[in-house]
Amino acid sequence: MKKNINTPRKKFQLKDLFNRPSQPYANPYLGGVLLGLVLFASYFITGNGLGASGGLSRFAAFIEDLIAPGHIDQVPYLLSMAGGRRNPLDSWIVIVTTGVLIGGFSSGLIHGRTKIETNKGPNISKQTRWLFAFIGGILFTYGARLARGCTSGQALSGGATLSAGSWLVMFSIFGGAYALAYFVRRLWN
């Protein structure tokens, strides 16, 4: 049967990009090997491991330096990243964090996993889910900065170098999650 070449093509819409059917997950063992290779490449190229909270802190310091540069010079934590003529984006961790964001988003697009949705339990509203997500994100980010690294920096990079402090942080993260799970279980059931 001959196709009619005068048939109008469907107009591309952004929602079509984010609502494609998802493909099956990769084999977890293959994913682990690939993650190990990425960690090795990070050490080889940058001389450092993986991390995210440090890069996100530097992005925040960059934005704050644009908006309120005087405040940066008054806070010792921010001063170490962006004080004076320092550029907070001039760091290996910013490059790694940017690569993680681009790579994760690209993988999601390729495998049909970038969807605009809110995952929640049946007994809570979307607003409550978002509220708890933001509270959890703030607490975890604060804890990651106190621990001098997030799960990427501590578990993957520190764990790979057999750092006792990194193993302690990871056991604390898992222990805290299990301890809190009982109290927030109704949000998911």
Q: What is the pLDDT along the chain (189 residues), one digit of tens a residue?
A: 555 566 666 676 666 666 677 788 888 999 899 989 988 998 898 888 888 888 888 998 999 988 988 888 888 888 888 877 889 999 888 988 898 889 889 888 888 888 778 888 888 889 998 998 899 889 888 888 787 777 778 888 888 888 898 898 889 888 988 998 888 887 776
Give this prediction's pTM. Answer: 0.71
With 0-12 / 13-18 / 19 or more C-beta atoms within 10 angstroms meaning exposed / middle / buried, residue 75 is middle
Report the distance separating Cα 50 and Cα 38, nearest Å: 9
pLDDT of residue 12: 63
The answer to whether 96 and 164 have CB atoms below 8 angstroms apart is no
